[in-house]
Structure 1
């Protein structure tokens, strides 16, 4: 391996280790300023002259900053003076080929053990008679187990056609404090680049569906490092530049599935008569959890990746080849709130694109699209944006087809409705409403049940006592609720909500009103009208009105007049 390439591999390993050891903070620290890091590396290298060039350092830092979502990366290089022992980069004797023609022109691909990567490798094997070189990064025993299982399944389907070079790289003797691992892809592709170079190739194949790669955010709290950019076209463009510099001539990272949906990627396995391989792959992000509902399950069934996979399988009519899920989305009630949230977010995302025409798509997603078109020749920009719009429309269509198939197979008007299920979510069209509105409805439903019980033997004499009860009930469910925060400026005044939540796309402000025995309802009407004027238009408001004396005579009329005019929910409790 050339010195410069060896430097790159070691550098990628150091950066990956630092990424895992330096925490980004708590999961609820949504703000970029709190969550992103500034990282400085001092690294000894063999080819000091090359790595000290300003353009090389800038290229490396740009790629890492984008893929990780961090604020900055700085590098200081020194001359490495120690010699290298005669070791191999790759470690697995079970899969390493006995002899290899390094100038054979075999295609090289990354291989994770996931579904998209499986479909990509199958497409290479099925469309050429050449052997295919694959490499994977192994970081823990569970990853090794999955990758070996998928490799063995592929090897049975295409005997003697794979040359597998896995690389082991992980922390030892210390537990990682950060699990986002955004720089893992830099290590992964650096290994793929080194292997392609060894085989005389100037390109590397990466397989991921376009929806996941582009990853237009479903929620406001999935930003920067929180939203994966591993196979984003800009990431690949920036890494191409880094690798081309190391190689000293052009290097291409191929992304054949960039214009395919997950359903279309899964259908590749049907096209090449290999659907039986599907069950060997792993998509779930919750594999560290113990599954209790089905002990044979390999997937939780409700994380965002499982939801995406499940919908794709039904849309492609391949659900019978799928893996075992601890929670079956199509036949069971949601086991926890997260499960419902992931499904609603997923369907809301699809609904947004199903109802968005081209001009809206371009304008609404101008910032993330600019990251894409930066690496496209000017004469092809409009064509590419059109292709991406069509991609998202096809994805929305696949989601609808998948749901209709679930209904056809598992639901019936002659069965009792399955409470707290995907069918209830769709029938109530919760995914067509803003997350803040759904959250307000959930809180209102909870408070309507609990407040009368909590106050059954307590006389509330003032609004603060009511707010104490509301705060206790809110904090029981989540720590994201704040009391009297944040302060909102309006003209020359400052308004402070009784409670708030920053967990939704739009802020949810909660105001409590106590209707005393002699308080006329018109006073509450005036107070709510004044509050609505002070809060931002985009913010959602929940008004909790405690009315034990039934001062409000017509609940529906009172609520309707506010709710049809403003972005709010009125909850009347007795």
Structure 2
């Protein structure tokens, strides 16, 4: 087992000694500025996009973006298999320069708990002051200016975020959409953005994007990790960066159906490597507390937390447009998994997100024109020894369990994490959306044969 310490250096002049807590840990330095004051690794990319739209976030929000980018670096470059004692739980220390040491240090334990819940790893974070000459990382106008935007929304190129974008634009909100992308997801985001532009006009004006990524040259000697359990930390931080630049308390819309958001394990082993807590209500409440403590005027909101994916589609404010355009979106958990068969990026058709997608489209529209690597799950018996059958069987079993005992849902929704932040009425709503979501998928998969 190897404990890792990542020390953030703003630029080459940041040479001050940083005392790491664990002297035996592997220490890696991560530099964020190569020339001048232009931040690298995608943080500068989104800052430039915001400033081009007359949006100037504060230094605390920039600190948060750098922290989140560092979390991304650790999450994607420290191997669970090679560096964790149990091949899962990594031990990671982060050391960051910030604009207000006292403010950040008072929130260190909260951040560590959030990251532990999100990734399953053991984190420690430590803060120090920025070096001289780095008090401000962007140039702001003398007089405060602000663009016309009044809300922020995450935009991934997925089906839920596409519905969220349509509903916001239909309602007349002047939203700015924040996207994080990787190479494989770029095309989907661009196609979705193009369709929104055609329908609602110049979506590019509303969309700021960033590719926050780190290669082997950024952190020499480290490996790679593909589970990316920490990915939503950067999503929320980039959205907060945009929200902080808008005057007043700004809503951050996080469009995600209730079934995926709760992510109740379908079987006892599901709290492992491929389970995600990206938009879990407990995690979002912890994030809201952090934003409040940091003085960032933003309110996280998932307007679809009590909706199934099929209900989102059926109730979309532009039903004709979503029915004609859903095929542009991507839902698959790993759109590049077909590369071993020399297939282009696309939907596998049998992972959990693909099954929820297929069921929702069938429920809303009766027919699904999306292309899947397994185009028809009902055409033949699925091989029980292969991945194509794993999630289908899990959904079938959960559907049967709830059919025999519907009240079980009230217990199962607590499996992924606490719901103490919510009222009895809200937790009842979560149980109901879980039941309806499982029923939606169960209706689709119950006649699939497995042998």
> Considering the TM-score relative to the shorter chain, is it more than 0.5?
yes
| Structure 1, 340-349 or 220-229: larger mean CA deviation | 220-229
Shift of 1:195: 0.2
Indicate if the aligned counterparts of 1:109 and 1:206 stay in contact, CA closer than 8 A.
yes
1:210 is matched with which residue?
Answer: 258
Deviations 1:372-393 (A, max 9, x none): 2x111xxx31x22322232133
Shift of 1:328: 1.4
**Aligned in 2, Cα 1:59/1:302: closer, same or farther, shift over 3 Å?**
same
Give runs of aligned pairs for residues 210-359 of structure 1, distance below 5 A: 210-223=258-271, 226-247=274-295, 251-269=298-316, 272-274=319-321, 275-290=323-338, 298-320=346-368, 322-333=369-380, 334=382, 337-358=386-407
Which stretches in structure 1 are left out of the alignment for 5+ residues? 90-99, 405-421, 426-441, 443-574
The secondary structure found in structure 2 opposite 1:332 is coil
Give runs of aligned pairs for residues 16-415 of structure 1, distance below 5 A: 16-25=72-81, 34-53=87-106, 56-70=107-121, 72-81=122-131, 83=133, 102=146, 104-128=148-172, 130-138=173-181, 140-160=182-202, 163-173=206-216, 177-200=224-247, 201-223=249-271, 226-247=274-295, 251-269=298-316, 272-274=319-321, 275-290=323-338, 298-320=346-368, 322-333=369-380, 334=382, 337-358=386-407, 360-362=408-410, 364-365=411-412, 367-368=414-415, 371-372=418-419, 374-376=420-422, 380-381=423-424, 383-402=425-444
**Aligned in 2, Cα 1:296/1:289: closer, same or farther, shift over 3 Å?**
closer
Looking at structure 1, the residues matched to 104 and 76 of structure 2 have their Cα atoms a distance apart, in angstroms, of 24
Aligned-residue CA RMSD in angstroms? Answer: 3.0
Deviations 1:367-424 (A, max 9, x none): 437612x111xxx31x2232223213322432354358xxxxxxxxxxxxxxxxx543
Shift of 1:103: 5.3
Looking at structure 1, the residues matched to 92 and 345 of structure 2 have their Cα atoms a distance apart, in angstroms, of 39
Q: What count of residue pairs does the alignment treat as equivalent?
A: 381
Looking at structure 2, the residues matched to 308 and 233 of structure 1 have their Cα atoms a distance apart, in angstroms, of 19
The secondary structure found in structure 2 opposite 1:344 is helix
**Aligned in 2, Cα 1:270/1:121: closer, same or farther, shift over 3 Å?**
closer
Deviations 1:56-75 (A, max 9, x none): 112211221111122x3212
The secondary structure found in structure 2 opposite 1:252 is strand
Deviations 1:189-225 (A, max 9, x none): 0110110111224321001111111011012222155
- TM-score, with structure 2 as normaliser: 0.76
Shift of 1:119: 0.8
Looking at structure 2, the residues matched to 401 and 331 of structure 1 have their Cα atoms a distance apart, in angstroms, of 13
Shift of 1:227: 1.6
Indicate if the aligned counterparts of 1:47 and 1:79 stay in contact, CA closer than 8 A.
yes
- TM-score, with structure 1 as normaliser: 0.61
Give runs of aligned pairs for residues 451-530 of structure 1, distance below 5 A: none
**Aligned in 2, Cα 1:167/1:82: closer, same or farther, shift over 3 Å?**
farther
Structure possessing the higher radius of gyration over alpha carbons:
1
Deviations 1:299-332 (A, max 9, x none): 1212222122112211222534x32111113453
Looking at structure 2, the residues matched to 59 and 181 of structure 1 have their Cα atoms a distance apart, in angstroms, of 21
**Aligned in 2, Cα 1:24/1:101: closer, same or farther, shift over 3 Å?**
same
Indicate if the aligned counterparts of 1:293 and 1:327 stay in contact, CA closer than 8 A.
no
